[in-house]
Structure formats: C-alpha cells, structure tokens
Amino acid sequence: MQKRAMGFLLFIAGMGGLLYGIDVGIIAGALPYLESTASVAWRLSAQQLSFIVAAVLLGSVLSSLFAGALADWIGRRWAMMLSGVLFTLSIPLIALADGYLPLLLGRLLQGVSGGLIGVIVPLYLAECLHARQRGRGAALFQLLLTIGLVAAAVIGLLQAHAVDSATAAVQHLNEDQRAAAVFAAKDHAWRSIFWWCLTPGVIFTAGCALLAESPRWLARKGRIDAARAALLRTRPADEAEAELREIQQALAPAVTAGPAASDPLLSRRYVLPFLLACLILALNQTTGINSVLAYVVNILNQAGLPGATANSADVVLKVVNALMTIVAVVLVDRKGRKFLLMLGTGGIVAALLAAGLLFRGAEGTQRDVRPMLQARILSDSMAMRLDAETLQSFGSAAGANAAAGAPLQLTVAYSYGPFTNVQTRRSDDAALPVLRMSRDDTVQPDSVIGAFFRKLHLNPFADPAEGLRAPLRIERADLAAVPPAAHGWQVMAAMCVFVASFAVGPGVCVWLALSELMPNRIRSNGMSVALLINQFVSTTIAATFLPTVGEYGYATMFFWWAGATLLYFLTAAFLLPETKGKTLEEIEARFARTAAG
C-alpha cells in the first residue's frame, strides 16, 4: 500500500514535470510554421514572435510572484490542481487563436501554469519525500520534464513530415496555388501541435485530486493528526513518528538556533541560503537552456539542416536530454549535487564555445546588400520575394554566395525611428513568402502604459509619434549561402553536448537547490522569489533572442552564454555546500550555525 501510494505520488508529480517540459518545448516545433504563417496573415514582427515565445516565461514570472503565498494559503495539493486547470484552459485558447492577442494570452496562461508547477511541485516533493529519496524524486521531476520535451519534439516532427508531404503534393500547381496550399498546411501544423498537449493537462489535474497534502504544510497549520496520516501513507509507522517529531521541533518558536517565528526572509539566519539559491536559479537560465530548447529548430535551420531534418535532430536532442537525466537520477544521491553541477557546467561552456565558433565561421561569408535594398524603397515601404529575379538584381553578391549551388538566405534589419524589426527569407522556401517592410507593420500603436511614462518625462517605451515621422532605414541586409548539412550536424553535435551536460548537472541540481537550500519556514515564499528571478532572466533572454541574432548573429549569443556559464561553474565550485543524504532540518541547522559563527 505504501509503495503504491509513493508510486502514485511520484507519477503525478512527474506529470507536473511533463507539463513544464511541454510548456518550454512545444513552441520549438510550432515556431517555424507560426513564423511563416502568422507573420504573413497577422503581420507579426520578429519582436512580437519573440514575445509569443517569451510569454510562457513571462507568465511564469507573474505566477512566481504569488506561487509561494498561494501554496501556503490553500495548500500544495490544491495549488497543483489549479496549475493543471490553467494549463488545460490555455490549449484551446492558443490552438483557436485568430490573431496576436489571443495567442499571446494563451501562451501567458500556459506560463502562469508553468510558474506554479515550477515552484509547487518541487516544494511538494521536498516536503513529502524521505531524505534518502529526495534527490531521486527531484530528478524524476526533471526526467518527466525532459520526456515532455521529447513528446513536444515528436509532435513537431510528425507535423513537419505532414507539411513536407503537403508541399510535395502541390508541386504541379501554379505558384499562387502552391503558395496557398503550403500556407494552409503550415497553419494547420502549428495549431495541431498545441492540440496534442491537452491530454496530459487533464491527467495531471485529475491526479492531483487524489494526492495527500504535504505533511509539513499540515503541521505548520497545526493539523498534526492529518500530517501523521499523510506520512503514514508512504512510510512505516516508526519512520513517520520520528519524522513528525523532527518537523514539530523545527517548527517550534525556539530551537537551538533560536529563530523567532517572525524572522523576516532576509534575516541573518536565512540570507545566505536564500541568496545562494537565487544566484543558482539566475545562472541556470544564463546558460541559454530555455532559448536553445525553444529555438532549436530555427538554430539548426540556420546552421544548415533543412525542414523535417531539423525537426528530427530536435527529437534526437530531446531524447539525449531524457537519457542523460536518467543518468543524473542514478548519480545524484551517489555523487552528490556539487560534483554533478561542476561536471555539467564545465561541459556546457565547452559546447557553447564550439557552437559559437562554428557560427562565427558561417557568418563570416555574409555579403552586404544594403545599398541594393535601400534603392528599392518606395514611399517608405518595400515588398519583395527572394526569387530568381531578385537574386539577379543583387549581382555579384548573390553570385559569390551561390557559387556552390547552395540556397541563399537574406537577413534584413530595418527601422522606422525607434521601432525596429528583423526578417529572414530563404530562396529554397516553396511558398516564397513576401518580405514586406511597412510602417503599419513595424510601428506599434501607443499604449496607456507608454503614455503614462511619457507624462512623467520617462521614456522606457518608444514613442509612436517618432516612428510615424521617421523614414524607413535599412540597418543591415546580409545575403549568405545557407551552410551545408555537414555544418548543421556539427552544430547539432555541439547542441547534444550542451543538452547532455545540462541534463546531468544543472537540470537536476537546480530543483534540489531550490527546495533544499531554503529553510522550512521561508521555503514557499523563498522559492517563489528565487524562481521569479530565474524566470525573469529566462524571459529576458527569450524575448530578445530573435532580434539579437538577427542584428549580431548567433555566434555572439553563444559566446555570451558561455561566459555566463563559466560564472556558474565557479559558483558551484566555491559557494555551494553538499546536501546529499541530509534532511531538510539538518541543512537548515548547518546554515544556522554558519550565521551564528
């Protein structure tokens, strides 16, 4: 009975990890089709597309603000159920979207769910599992998270094959008919990708209703008999009684370390573990992991892997992630958190440097065609296809890049005053979508928030009046041959090392750091603040990814992530204590002694 209850607890908590993985990974397969359809039908800018990707992370930031307070108020179990309901509701909102706003709101709702899961499920596991099982339990959460990423990638691959089949079937049609058919196939693909995610949300929501509440939350609320009953579901009677006594001693108003029940979050007793957890959570995102997982198909397309091949590589990458997480599950309670974190961050630095050098070599072949594009501007707007006629007008720039017979890619960064956008087009795209630059598509309408700040003589937002007066300016226009497939596979190898290193180290250890380092009394609110910082960093990186790589190239982004991860390695080596095999109360007592000394 106890084994069955423990198995069910781990399964449902693991399903929370699955949903979190889907939250992060589902956009990777959908984004190429969303980019090529929504940018045409709804005229979305690169910044708006980045916002759609980052909306999940922004939603996580918003929910992280109140996740701990919510879990303290209604309990861990009910908060987990709420996260499942929100995820389930987000799917139809996204899949049925008919414009930018409902799509953005659906992704935000998905992110709110993910933020709650990211705080509450690790918190629930830490408070329900025995010390000898806690590392493996957190690793299982990460394992199911990676399986969620694999599931998202497989769904994307199936839709990629469907789009390729639809494209092949309409080659006999004229250009306009073929473009319309390919557009319809891509539009159906990204919507179907999201519909596939409905089932796990329903399973997680229903399963949470059958879980027991956290015994430590029950004890804090004075419900000692209920706490004992919750412990007895997964432990022998003698272990349950011993652990309950330890919980009650830690919650007493005066213990050996003597904190008052009113001690604030940043009192001397709590400040070191709290700040250390916040630092680790922030550095975990500066590795670029969420952006790599979200944009991996785009990255591999840019590196030279076409269409469904990039989606297949994405599946391989997510499988590597899952397999290495299994390795981490085996090692985390044997080798310890510190060792795995140092091993993982060291591998990430090497992989990011390799990927950056590969892209630096490919981006060095770009040719500047800005004068040719600037000459095409009529009445502050321009529209063109990257067809044979356009390539011929680029003259020697196109000829030099096409010498090897490779397809060409045009990257254009342009602006209307303070409003900027970046667009890319490939000569081998069957639909040959129009590259359209116009003031209406680029200059965003004024907002209440922007107007309010301008009245205060602050200017965090661009002024639409400036964009309406400014002429169209081509900031950057580079034409380059798409790298060969061999180059794409080399980047893929670097990405595999990156993901494997993350999975075996930071991927598992970050959840343990989040739940283990925080003392019992501040754990829920402290975890909320730490995860808020984590998601803020992740959101910032994701929201600026497309504009940044469009303006400065992929190599710059990879080198920046490598430098940040080096700092992560040093933090793990010199600041992080080892916590394997210790109860939460023993870890808290260690930091209390450090503060007292």
Q: What is the pLDDT of residues 434-488, one digit of tens each?
A: 888 888 777 766 554 445 444 545 444 567 778 888 888 888 888 888 888 899 9
DSSP label at residue 336: -
Query: For residue 564, is it within any domain?
Result: yes
pLDDT at 242: 79
> What parts of the chain have a pLDDT lower than 50?
254-261, 448-450, 452-454, 456, 458-460
pLDDT at residue 567, as a whole number:
94
Burial of 153 (0-12, 13-18, 19+ CB in 10 A): buried
- Cα–Cα distance for residue pair 426/408, rounded to 1 Å: 6
Same domain? For 504 and 585 the reply is yes
* CA-closest candidate to residue 428, choices 472, 481, 471: 481
State whether 313 and 417 are in the same domain.
no
Specify if 240 maps to a domain: no
pLDDT of residue 56: 78
**What is the model's pLDDT at position 448?**
46
- Predicted TM-score (pTM) of this structure: 0.66
Same domain, yes or no, for 279 and 399?
Answer: no
The enclosing domain of 539 has a CATH number of 1.20.1250.20
How far apart are alpha carbons 288 and 353 in whole angstroms? 13
Into how many domains does the chain fold?
Answer: 2
pLDDT tens-digit readout, 517-548: 776 666 667 766 777 787 778 778 877 787 78
Q: Name the amino acid, one letter, at 4.
A: R
pLDDT recorded at residue 346? 95
Amino acid letter, residue 18: L
Domain range for 408 is: 380-470
**Other CB atoms closer than 10 Å to residue 43's CB: what's the count?**
14
pLDDT at 446: 56
Using CA atoms in the order 454, 456, 460, 465, what is the torsion angle rounded to 10 degrees? 10
pLDDT at 449: 46
Distances (CA, A) of 78 to 142, 197, 207, 417, 556: 22, 22, 11, 49, 44
The one-character DSSP state at 364 is T
With beta carbons less than 8 A apart as the criterion, state whether 288 and 19 touch.
no
Q: Show which of 435, 470, 505 is a domain's final residue.
A: 470
The helix (H) or strand (E) run that includes residue 477 is strand 472-481
First-last CA distance in the chain:
46
Amino acid at 560: W
